Amino acid sequence: MNAERRGLGIRHLLVGCLALAGLLGAFLAGDAAAQPEPPFDLQAAIAQAPPGSTVEVPPGLYRGPIVVDRPLRIVGRQGPNGERPIIDGGGQGTVVTIAADGTVFQGFLVRNSGIDVDNEDGGITVDKAVDVVLADNRIEDTLYGIRGIEAHRLVLRGNVIRGKALPVARRGDGIRLWQSENCLVEDNVVEGVRDAIFWFSDDTTVRRNVFRGNRYGVHMMYTDGMVVRENLTEGNSVGIYLMYSVNVLIEGNTFRQNRGPSGYGLGLKDMDAVTVRDNYFFENRVGLFFDNSPASVNIYQEIRRNVLAYNDMGVLLMPAVARNRFAENTFLDNLEQVAAKGGGSRQGDILGANTWEGNYWSDYVGYDADGDGVGDLPYRSESLFENLIDRYPELRLFRFSPVQQTIEMAARAFPVFKPQPKLTDPSPRMDPLLPPTAPLGAPMESAMGWATAALLALAVLPAVALRAGHPARPADVGGRPRSAADATEEPMHPTPPPAPTLSPDEPVLVARRLVKRYPQPGRPWWSDATITAVEDVSFQLFPGESLALWGANGAGKTTVLKCILGLLHYEGELRLNGLDLRRQGKQARRFLGYVPQELAFHNELTVADTCRLYARLKEVSPARIPQVLALVGLAGQERKEVGALSGGMKQRLALALALLSDPPVLLLDEPTSNLDVNARQEFIDLLKRLRDRGKSLLYSSHHLAEVTDLADRVLVMAEGRIVAEGPPRTVMASLQGASGGAPGPGEPEQPDGTGPRPQEVFQAG
Amino acid sequence: MRRKTIQMAGRRWLWLVLPLLGLLAAGCGSRVAPNEPPEIVYGEDVCDQCNMIISDDRFAAAAVVEEAPGDYAYRLFDDIGDMLAYREEHPDLDFVTLWVHDYNTREWLDAATAAYVVAVEIRSPMAYGFAAFATPEAAVAFAQRFPDGQVLTWEELQQYFVDRYR
């Protein structure tokens, strides 16, 4: 019995030990156990295959180095779970070398190269072979990614390249093309490497790639005729840097958060005949940098229809940069819109050697009396403080401080301090111009990136829509064959950040002593005479509250909304959700949705395409679109073209776009002014439901019904001031008493739905 | 009826003066010795010629210039060729000392005492293809790796630069 028990115990012990040993062995074997070396000698298969044939490689782990010395089509076959054949360099040398013309190498995971910088150890080297195609490979943990040395007509398509985890200064290049002409580099992702380099490689096209987290997203040198289109460069030290080349097109790219040393989105050094158009530059240290470009005296360069938003500097020119034409660009809330490095008092000379015409400037303080979309006064960039910063960069420490205010005030008050304008744009656009496609397709990891895109959409939509009665022009819609609907096919951010939680006791929006002045038309140059559009306006808006700005045309209602939207500079204080709209405008305005008075949709787009376009701009998941369309009563209208919608349905569509990111605060400018009586009541009912769901509404109106039916409180405005405030019934009653003729809130309106003109009321105010 | 207003000014002029005084004080603090090489912060410092970030210590170079009598400053470069280009483009500056890195040991060398290898296939940051060595023997050994490798003295390198790039 005891012996039997002893025997059982020994057997159990042995089984346990064996099991433990097995587990330990599997653990130590790691990848090798998961990827057993198949009975397939890849190098031998290559050596035995007839030139021009296909070698299909099953999943498994293959040891490098592999050398392809005959033209073959080598295709990695995926396993049932998507696993691909792995070629592992074992930490030595270059993993795969291709030395045969016409080779196709596709579908592999190539990893674990050596780290010898002198030998440029890497994943795949194409060595003096032409017409090679590298497609759909993953290259990981290699010093260099893909090198092409005298590899003309090389095609890199759909590869993902991630470098070794080394400090950026010790990494190799993700892509290095050297003396390789007529290459095509498309749809690749290059991350965590030093640079993607294109040197001595004329007529190469680089398109739809993502360059992220590198030193230089792209560094191009001595490469004429290059086309760089629709790429995303994000989080690099420098996005794209171009040097010593001629005839280069930079089009439709996004440069975002390139903020390392230098921190240029796009830099041009000794370049000639570069065209930069339809690009987006967000949150870089410097959006566009020019150094001796164009380099030749008879060359002019065109910088057109780009959006430069929220960069520390929009454009920076080195001394002696001249002959660049800046037209139809949007300069939106860059800390410094344009600067000339080291220019000091010569800034005007440097910037004036380039032409600036028809750009949108978010700090423009003029007006457009004739409604032609062009400001009636020239835009002049003249800031004494910025001039001082350009000469003494250390002064940036004092930005937004009383020092800056004092210096600017001195410049205005005493002409001796008044700086020469850095630049003059004789015909500034009143509205931003959105490039034809917004290449924001690649997912953004950071909340700041999301906020930027959302803010851009927020800034652009109202400004475009505020073009009263001006339908979208073909140039605004886009001149390229790619449609906005096509653009929406690209992936988007999977989930938008949640809306903030607001305390019901705290005002979500606070205006304190808001003042907006414009220069007086026709004033002499020495005069600072102004006209006041808004004077000393203070109010609060609480969560779930509906607040009306009521007044006649010209009372200042829309100006207040524009100040909140960041479209106008102002005096006083505006706070949204506790954030200062002047200093923290980017963060704050993500909590805003805006419905403009006049809508300028692209009529040829469907409702669904329009929603997808704006969802993409705001980086909101497309899953949100059916929800907002149902919320505003447009479910089932997705396929209808916007041009075929009624006025009421267009207004609902504008509301749906404002609701895409689920903002807690909605701003509406005369929300029902273009609707008939029935559509107006339906829209007001819809807004009530939103208010009851907790949205805060601030809207301007001169329609009595909008005020009495929807507002919890009303601020009556006249001549830029608030002249009465309170619940609608109370305010109406007091105004009625004061004027003797104004209607009470319950009185019927006129047939046109507007009720008596409020001017009668305001005379009493 | 809208009102005309005139912007009024005049408060706290001291704020205008204080930052400038601060800058003046800060500017008086830096001193560079004319016979010592700089410490380059790789991945952060920027080349004074091409504005690119300096990352590769094999090719990084530096110059000490005398901006005013007794007042020295560094100029940093990512490529020996860029240092020569910068000197060509700034004839008004007094270049006191030029420094290059030994390709093998990454130690600083006085540019005038180093031996150089020139070859197209030396892929230096700005593609000049110059590498510096502490001894002619080391340079000769390295040059043998390239079909077109040439070994040059400092004087010969400067002449090569002028002939080829100027």
Task: Write down the domain spans for chain A.
Answer: 23-201, 509-764
* pLDDT on residue A345: 57
Triad A194, A199, A204: Cα angle to 5°: 105
Of A457, A445, A441, the closest CA to residue A497 belongs to: A445
- pLDDT confidence bin for A705, thresholds 50/70/90: confident
Q: Which domain holds residue B149?
A: 33-165
- Partner B contacted by A417 (CB < 8 A): no
- Partner B contacted by A295 (CB < 8 A): no
**Is B140 inside any structural domain?**
yes
- Mean pLDDT for A34-44 is 71
List, for residues A82-99, the tens digit of each pLDDT value.
899 999 999 999 999 999
CA distance A332 to A453: 12
ipTM exceeding the 0.85 mark:
no
Exposed / middle / buried, residue A426 (Cβ in 10 Å: 0-12, 13-18, 19+): middle
- Partner B contacted by A528 (CB < 8 A): yes
- Mean pLDDT for A586-610 is 79
CA distance A212 to A234: 5
CA distance B115 to B129: 14
- pLDDT confidence bin for A476, thresholds 50/70/90: very low
- Mean pLDDT for B95-103 is 96
> C-alpha distances in angstroms, A640 versus A603, A610, A635, B21?
10, 11, 11, 66
* pLDDT on residue A135: 97
Of A48-57, A243-252, B10-19, the least confident: B10-19
Q: What is the mean pLDDT of chain A?
A: 80
Whether residue B126 and residue A221 make contact (CB cut-off 8 A), yes or no, is yes
CA distance A34 to A24: 14
Of A72-86, A173-187, A735-749, B95-109, the least confident: A735-749
What six digits make up the tokens of B162?
Answer: 């002028």
Q: In A, which residues are within 8 Å of B50 by CB distance?
A: 243, 269
What six digits make up the tokens of A391?
Answer: 């000469």
What six digits make up the tokens of A341?
Answer: 């490095």
Alpha carbon A71 to chain centroid, angstroms? 43
**Is B16 inside any structural domain?**
no
Triad A406, A411, A412: Cα angle to 5°: 100
Whether residue B43 and residue A169 make contact (CB cut-off 8 A), yes or no, is yes
What are the residue ranges of helices labelled H in B28-92? 80-89
Local structure of A618: helix, strand or coil? helix
The alpha carbon of residue A252 is apart from the nearest alpha carbon of chain B, in Å, by: 24
List, for residues A508-559, the tens digit of each pLDDT value.
999 999 999 887 766 666 677 788 889 999 999 999 899 999 888 778 888 8
**Is B66 inside any structural domain?**
yes
- The larger pLDDT score, comparing residue A580 to residue A208, is at A208
* pLDDT on residue A458: 61
Interface test mutation site (partner A, options B39, B51, B56, B128, max chain A beta carbons within 10 A): B51
Q: Does A438 score more than 50 pLDDT?
A: no
- The larger pLDDT score, comparing residue A540 to residue A648, is at A540
CA distance A123 to A121: 7
Alpha carbon A450 to chain centroid, angstroms? 8
What are the residue ranges of helices labelled H in A135-277? none
* pLDDT on residue B166: 77
* pLDDT on residue A506: 85
- Partner B contacted by A320 (CB < 8 A): no
**Do residues B119 and B148 touch, judged by C-beta distance below 8 A?**
yes
Instruction: Mention every residue, 6+ apart, whose C-beta is less than 8 A from residue B146.
Output: B117, B119, B120, B121, B122
- Closest Cβ–Cβ partner in A222, A241, A395 for B52: A241
**Is B3 inside any structural domain?**
no
Helix then strand count (H, E) for chain B reads 4, 8
CATH of A509-764, one of 2.60.40.10, 3.30.930.10, 3.40.50.300, 3.40.50.920: 3.40.50.300
Q: In B, which residues are within 8 Å of A237 by CB distance?
A: 53
Q: Does B8 score more than 70 pLDDT?
A: no
* pLDDT on residue A1: 38
Whether residue B19 and residue A395 make contact (CB cut-off 8 A), yes or no, is yes
Fold of the domain spanning A23-201: Pectate Lyase C-like (2.160.20)
* pLDDT on residue A57: 95
pLDDT cut 90: percent of chain B above it? 71
- pLDDT confidence bin for A418, thresholds 50/70/90: low
Q: Does A390 score more than 70 pLDDT?
A: no
CA distance A548 to B164: 73
Give me the residue label for tokens 């203070």: A538
- Max mean pLDDT range (A609-623, A636-650, A670-684, B108-122): B108-122
The alpha carbon of residue A392 is apart from the nearest alpha carbon of chain B, in Å, by: 8
**Do residues A360 and A431 touch, judged by C-beta distance below 8 A?**
yes
pLDDT cut 70: percent of chain A above it? 74
Q: Does B14 score more than 90 pLDDT?
A: no
- Max mean pLDDT range (A107-121, A721-735, A750-764): A107-121
* pLDDT on residue B29: 44
Of A37-46, A161-170, A380-389, B65-74, the least confident: A380-389
* pLDDT on residue A343: 57
Of A205-214, A242-251, A322-331, A403-412, the least confident: A403-412
Triad A167, A168, A174: Cα angle to 5°: 125
- Nearest residue of chain A to residue B14 (CA atoms): A403
> Number of structural domains, chain B?
1
- The larger pLDDT score, comparing residue A566 to residue A720, is at A720
* pLDDT on residue A261: 85
Q: What is the mean pLDDT of chain B?
A: 85
List, for residues A94-144, the tens digit of each pLDDT value.
999 999 999 999 999 999 999 998 889 999 999 999 999 999 999 999 999
* pLDDT on residue A532: 87
Chain B residues with a Cβ under 8 Å from any Cβ in chain A: 1-13, 15-16, 18-20, 22-23, 26, 42-46, 50-53, 55-56, 58, 123, 126-127
* pLDDT on residue B20: 52
Of A654, A734, A586, the closest CA to residue A282 belongs to: A586
* pLDDT on residue A751: 35
Whether cis (ω within 30° of 0) applies to the bond prior to A294 is: yes
Q: Does A487 score more than 60 pLDDT?
A: no
- DSSP secondary structure code for residue B95 in this structure: E
Instruction: Mention every residue, 6+ apart, whose C-beta is less than 8 A from residue A78.
Output: A59, A84, A107
* pLDDT on residue A762: 33
Whether cis (ω within 30° of 0) applies to the bond prior to A65 is: yes
The alpha carbon of residue B37 is apart from the nearest alpha carbon of chain A, in Å, by: 20
- Mean pLDDT for A460-472 is 44
List, for residues A312-353, the tens digit of each pLDDT value.
999 999 888 889 999 999 998 888 899 887 655 566 677 778
DSSP H/E element including A516: strand A509-519
Q: Does A495 score more than 60 pLDDT?
A: no
* pLDDT on residue A468: 36
- The larger pLDDT score, comparing residue A235 to residue A737, is at A235
- Mean pLDDT for A686-712 is 88
Of A132-146, A456-470, A472-486, B28-42, the least confident: A472-486
**Do residues A250 and A217 touch, judged by C-beta distance below 8 A?**
no
Of A367-376, B51-60, B71-80, the least confident: A367-376
* pLDDT on residue A483: 32
* pLDDT on residue A636: 87
